[in-house]
Structure 1
Amino acid sequence: MRRAGDMLAPLVLLAVLLAGWEIACRALAVPAYFLPPPSAVVMALVETGPRLAASAWATFWMALQALAAAGLIAAALALTVSLNATAERAVRPLAVTLQVTPVVAIAPLVLIWAGLDNADRAVVALAATVAFFPLFSGVLTGLKSADPDLERLFDLYGASPWQRLWRLRVPAAAPFALEGLRVAAGLAVIGAVVAEFVSGTGQTQGLAWRLLEAGNRLRTAELLAALTCLAVMGVALNALIGGIERAMLRRRGGNRGVR
């Protein structure tokens, strides 16, 4: 019952905001190119639905590829440097530097490396760059968050570094890694869209291209329809990651109960 109430509240708020938007546009006679009413956006969604769906899938697929690549690289690097404090001190500043460097600044270079005929590869690489740091930071923080009492127990039994890593620190890192994955999922979508904007070739035919196309033609309703698809895609990806996180944590709790 409580969960239903939690879902109903944002839906009611959304309905009120959309109703206010519709009424304001009609009462004030706002030009459609400036701000179309929600009804016009819905019509644009219906009319351009197949094209937007294909573009949304292209962007979604590139974001998933970027998330997978960032996850593998970040997890492998975090596992490696967690075994050596000197390696961690050497790698962490480079990871931070990569995080604070704007993706638009390195996009032309990555596009040259990937080749103008492989814009999709450049988009995946740039989105993976954006998603890398939350995953790396989350996994590394989790690996260092193991229970000190268990650490001393492993010392008492003379556990090797690899035994300590796989049997103690990796399980302790799971919640942190999942939280980093949740943040990185949203960043991967943002990175994919920004990279599509910067590539400017239209070869990827993702949602960013639809946004540019609609904006250049002053088709604001289509632009908002594309933005709606992008928002739905981001929410769906976040919900998917949240579902995986809850399932893994329930399984982990169940395994503890069995023991």
Structure 2
Amino acid sequence: MSIADERLAEAPMDPEEAARQRRQRRDRIGRWLVPLVVGALAIWGWDRIVVVNEIPHYILPRPGLVAKTLWIDWATLASSLIITLKVACAALLAAIIGGVGIAVLFTQSRWLEMALYPYAVILQVTPVISIAPLILIYMDTVPAIILCAWIVAFFPILSNTTLGLNSTDHNLRDLFTIYGATRWQRLRFLQLPSALPYFLGGLRIAGGLSLIGAVVAEFAAGTGGMGAGLAFRILEAGYRLNIPRMFAALFLIAGAGVAIYALTSFISHLLLRKWHESAIKREV
């Protein structure tokens, strides 16, 4: 290290810079610590309510009993969680392929968008629980459950990607036209990169919806045995008044939803962190 570098390292830090770094450290710690504290207080309050009011475990179990049940029944619940996650991931993958593909077709043909987009809206606003029994009549159980989950997850991908493809800067469109770019070149080098943030926003939404759709479809299917997902375990526990197992299964579903959202958010950060305003960190 040179003498100049040593003097620079020994020089006192600017007060504003030091304050900014303290704020950043405090924000990073608070982002994790505050939710953990709130969750711990909520669990403590739940436990105190059960103890003070002497509520039976078959009505509202204590958090410790739920944790014990989760530990004891982990093998059964974990296998059911894997089945539910497989359905949700298959539905999400199909929603990505179908949603992006149809969105691209919509941007290439205005008439096609006007003809089909209203039916996509109708499919979205129709409660999947009302059409799941009908789908189960005509299809096998597993494909029917995946289709129901796909119906729920499909529209956010389609609508967000379509919006992103149609929101390309018109000046850049004109520039591509001036230079004689083909429709494929404009789509590949301009529209798709511009639509990426919109698509990733829809992906974060669709990730959670695919899990919701899978659970709702499993409730409608009511299938048991080795192919039983977490929804069936909840129904089974309810019939047997095994309320701690119901809570344990619900916590697994919630944890899976959080994990899916965290994964899609991480993917979004990786793809946008170097160039998009929503992901670039600015100094305050």
TM tier relative to shorter chain: over 0.9
1:117-170 CA-to-partner distances (Å, cap 9, x unmatched) read xx1111111101110000000110010111222112112112222211111100
Aligned twin of 2:262: 239
Tell me, what secondary structure is at the counterpart of 1:78?
Answer: helix
Give the aligned partner of residue 226 of structure 1: 249
CA displacement at 1:251 relative to structure 2: 4.8
C-alpha distance in 2, partners of 1:90/1:193? 32
Question: Is 1:70 the counterpart of 2:95 in the alignment?
Answer: yes
Other-structure match for 1:5: 30
Structure 2 distance, partners of 1:5, 1:79, is 41
Greater relative contact order: 1 or 2 (C-alpha under 8 angstroms, separation 6 or more)?
1
Alignment of 1:184-199 (within 5 A): 184-199=206-221
2:11 counterpart residue number: none
Q: How does 1:98-247 map to 2 (within 5 A)?
A: 98-115=123-140, 119-202=141-224, 204-247=227-270
Q: 1-side partners of 2:257 and 2:57: how far apart?
A: 27
Q: Distance in 2 between matches of 1:76 and 1:103?
A: 23
Alignment deviations for residues 8-37 of structure 1 (CA, whole Å, 9 cap, x no partner):
101000000100111111111011111111
Distance 1:22 1:170 in 2: 51
Q: CA RMSD in A?
A: 1.1
Q: Note the residue ranges of structure 2 that are not aligned, 5 or more in a row.
A: 1-24, 277-284
**Which letter maps to 1:41?**
V
Q: Distance in 2 between matches of 1:7 and 1:149?
A: 42
Deviation string 1:151-193 (CA, Å, 9 cap, x unpaired) is 1211211222221111110000100000101000100000000
TM-score under structure 1 length normalisation = 0.94
Residue equivalent to 1:250: 273
Q: What whole-Å deviation, never above 9, does each CA across 1:60-80 have from its counterpart, x for those lacking one?
A: 111000000111011111101
Letter in 2 for 1:143: L
Q: What SS does the corresponding residue of 2:59 show, helix, strand or coil?
A: coil
Shift of 1:113: 2.1
Question: Aligned partners of 2:250 and 2:243: how far apart in 1?
Answer: 10
1:21 equivalent to 2:43? Answer: no
Deviations 1:177-217 (A, max 9, x none): 00101000100000000000001222531000110011111
- Work out the percentage of aligned pairs sharing the same amino acid: 44
Task: Report matched runs for 1:13-92 at 5 Å.
Answer: 13-92=38-117
Corresponding letter in the other structure for 1:36: P
Count of aligned pairs between the two proteins:
250
2-side partners of 1:109 and 1:29: how far apart?
A: 44
Q: Secondary structure at the match of 1:159?
A: coil
Letter in 1 for 2:162: L
Structure 1 alignment gaps of length 5 or more: 254-259
3-state SS of 1:82 partner: helix
Which protein has the larger Cα radius of gyration, Structure 1 or Structure 2?
A: 2
